[in-house]
Amino acid sequence: MARAASVGEAQGQGTIGTTLDVENYTGDTLAVTMTRIIDPATGADEFNTPNMGDRFVAVDMSLENLSAATITDYANSDAAVIGTDSQAYTADLDSVAECTNFSSGVFTLLPGNSENGCVVFQLPVGIGVKAIQFTIGIGASDIVQWKP
C-alpha cells in the first residue's frame, strides 16, 4: 500500500457528485467531478489482488478541460485518498472490474473535451475513505477535495 508523505490544504471542497475546478501551474483548468467511490472494488482478474490486510477502493471521476490548451497529465499521481486514519494513500497500479483507469492513468484532453475513468487505491481493512483530493501535476498548489 502506498502512502503519501503529507496531506495538502484543499482550496475547494465538495461532496461526491459535486464538480470542482482545479488549475495547474500555467492556469489551465479542469472541471473534476467525483462520481462515485467503489468500496470494496474487485480485482479485474486473478493477477490483480490487494495486499494481505488491504482492499481495493476505486474512485470514479469525470474530467473536463475548460481551457484553451490541451491538458495531458497522470490521474494516478493527481488523486489521493485520505483515510479515516488521516493517512494519505496514493494510487495503486492494479486494475479493477468496476471501472477503467483512463489510459493506464494518463489522460489527454483537448479544449472542451471530457473523459471518465477511475483511480484505484489500496486501503487497510477497517480504514474508510474520509476524503478524496485532486490536483493537476506534481507540485501544484491548487488542490480540491471531496468528502463522501
CATH topology of domain 3-147: Immunoglobulin-like (2.60.40)
| Residues constituting the chain | 148
User: What's the average model confidence in pLDDT over 27-38?
Assistant: 96
pLDDT class of 26 with cuts at 50, 70, 90: confident
pLDDT class of 6 with cuts at 50, 70, 90: very low
pLDDT at 3: 41
What is the tens place of the pLDDT at every residue in 69-127? 999 999 999 999 999 999 999 999 999 999 999 999 999 999 999 999 999 999 999 99
8 Å CB contact between 58 and 113 = no
pLDDT at 25: 86
**pTM for this prediction:** 0.90
**Could you give the CA distance from residue 63 to residue 84 in angstroms, rounded to a whole number?**
26
Main-chain phi, psi angles of 124, to 5 degrees: -60, 145
Residue 69: closest CA among 33, 103, 24:
24
Residue 2: closest CA among 127, 86, 116, 121:
121
pLDDT at 137: 78
- Cα-Cα end-to-end distance for the chain: 21
Instruction: Count Cα atoms within 13 angstroms, Cβ side, for 143.
Output: 18
